[in-house]
A and B are shown apart, each in its own frame.
Chain A
Amino acid sequence: MSAPLLKIDGIHKRFGGLHALNDVALSINAGEIYGLIGPNGAGKTTLFNVLTGLYQPDEGSFSFNGKDLFRQKPYVVVESGIARTFQNIRLFANMTALENVMVGQHVRTAAGVFGAVFRGPKAKAEEAAIAARAQELLDYVGIGKRHDELARNLSYGDQRRLEIARALATRPTLLALDEPAAGMNPKETDQLKALMEKIRADGVTILLIEHDVKLMMGLCDRIAVLDYGKKIAEGIPEKVKNDPRVIEAYLGVAPE
């Protein structure tokens, strides 16, 4: 087996007296859908923020694709190929869907400031390519017809799709999705599941936080369970589901 795509070890993160992440280690292999579950307040989003560079961990190690990303700035993390969506949708609300995705390509396009203002043929060609690629991505996530709509006027489910398209615009190797199915109805959740499988089939590894256990069990190759900042279980869904510590974390201990 080759080296994992992403590997963290001994990660600690404290907020004052709160030990939000306590010695967390995990590794994600290229091409898998890796799930992260746990009760509310278990540290899932904190771990997510560490993995995407938004939080700087206090201790530990973090490598991705052979590169050391420990305590790196968020845009370095994005450049290295990790893109994310947010639990509370954070789109550029007053820009069109197409423009949102075009902004996502900034990280991969070269034109300098002056090229952007005094547009030579090269800058113009790049601009056209950016727009075309953005449209492709909108089509890919299934909202291609809504490209001229302002992001804030899109339906909730479409906003989630747009966030995924914008994240994909950064050409990630690993796509990290923070509760993408939150607030979706069963039909939308099914479509989302299909979309994630399509993205994985196209060669992007996926890290997923989700509360919808049924969705997770049917989708993920491996799942890690966090509780009080510690990883209490990891493995294939079947194994995790029957792990007594996981049941305890979710349901409490059965009375003797």
Chain B
Amino acid sequence: MDIFLQQIINGLVVGSIYALIALGYTMVYGIMQLINFAHGEIVMIGAMVTITCINLLIGAGVNLPGPLLLLAGLLMAIPISMLLGFTIERVAYRPLRRAPRLAPLITAIGVSIVLQQVAMLIWGRNYRPFPQILPTTVHDFFGAAVTDLQIAIVILSLVLMAGLFWLIEKTRLGRAMRATAQNPEVAGLMGVNINTVISMTFIIGSSLGAVAGVMVAANYDQAHAYMGFMIGLKAFTAAVLGGIGNIGGAVVGGLLLGIIESLGSGYLGDLTGGFLGSHYKDIFAFVVLIGVLVFRPSGLLGERVAERA
């Protein structure tokens, strides 16, 4: 029982990170039907900038408690990611707005490769350890072990998601975003500035991605220039699982994928008599992706495709 609970908790932690990243994919897709494959790299750069910033502060002899150092790193990483997301859209996607859909998709893959290479030039090709600044207290939760970090990740994710829902449902910008997603031409006629809406979508998605990147690095104690690829692909899977373009779907898909992956890797060894171990956990995401694409291409909460027609 405690192993089961432990896997569920681990799954929720990883799942809420997936969900944060999946929101970035799904928001961009909802508004411009583009899969922004460079989003994983934003996540990576968010993690890298934070690590560098913390190390610099420690190197400069700043003596702050760990969580404050982390916060300082985040405050550095978020604006950089926002700027990066904004620039990518301006430089790589906007000129292709009226091009066939394949063109921006290939551009997105190109941007993703460029960012990986640039990151390697800056940070090298080795794993970067996450500085040991956070308390490692372990709490006992009905027989399962939970760290402060895990609690913080889940709570922060939930707060950010709630904030995003509020933004989209209750503010003028959110209303403009929804109108643009449903009918850009008419939204433009009503005075909605489509370019601003798209820029803001990238900026918001990128800032969530940066926070998620820091969570990944802190949770696994490391980061490296290629990390964006796998985490991006999994978050994309989560977005597709929930129904791409659907905000609630990204959250559900992320959490669900995290739990599936965690339970799957936890029991895979037992199920296969030790033939396959937990290091095969990555296959679950892609089995799920294939399953969704075959049996329910619109995702769990997806209905947008039919509506759009």
Q: Using CB atoms and an 8 Å cutoff, list the residues of chain A in contact with chain B.
A: 52, 74-75, 78-79, 84, 86, 90, 92-95, 99, 102-109, 111, 113, 116-117, 119, 123, 127, 130, 152, 166, 169-170
Contact = CB atoms under 8 A, between A and B. Distances in A.
Interface band, chain B: 20 to 34
Nearest to B194: A75
B182 interface: yes
Nearest to A111: B172
Contact of A116 (B172, B179, B186, B307): B172
Given A103-B187, A107-B190, 8 more contacts: A92-B187, A93-B307, A102-B175, A103-B176, A105-B191, A109-B172, A113-B173, A116-B171
Nearest to B174: A116
Contact of A103 (B167, B171, B190, B196): B190
A92 B179 contact: yes
Nearest to A152: B307
B27 to A, nearest CB: 15
Interface secondary structure of B, over-half rule: helix
Contact of B179 (A75, A95, A130): A95
A74 B192 CA distance: 11
A107 B188 CA distance: 9
B200 interface: yes
Contacts of B167: 117
Nearest to A100: B179
Contacts of A113: 173, 196, 200
Interface of A is mostly: helix
Contacts of A93: 182, 307
Contact of A107 (B171, B178, B182, B191): B191
Nearest to A126: B172
Given A103-B176, A117-B167, A95 B190 contact: no
A106 B180 CA distance: 12
A130 B191 CA distance: 14
B179 to A, nearest CB: 5
Contact of B175 (A75, A86, A95, A152): A95
Contact of A78 (B173, B175, B189, B307): B189
Interface of B: 167, 171-173, 175-176, 178-179, 182-183, 185-192, 196, 200, 307
A243 B109 CA distance: 64
5 contacts: A52-B189, A92-B182, A102-B175, A107-B191, A109-B172
A127 B191 CA distance: 16
A157 B289 CA distance: 42
B196 A92 contact: no
Name which of A103, A111, A169 has the most chain B CB atoms within 10 A of its CB. A103
B192 A95 contact: no
Given A113-B200, A117-B167, A90 B183 contact: yes
Given A95-B179, A113-B196, A90 B191 contact: no
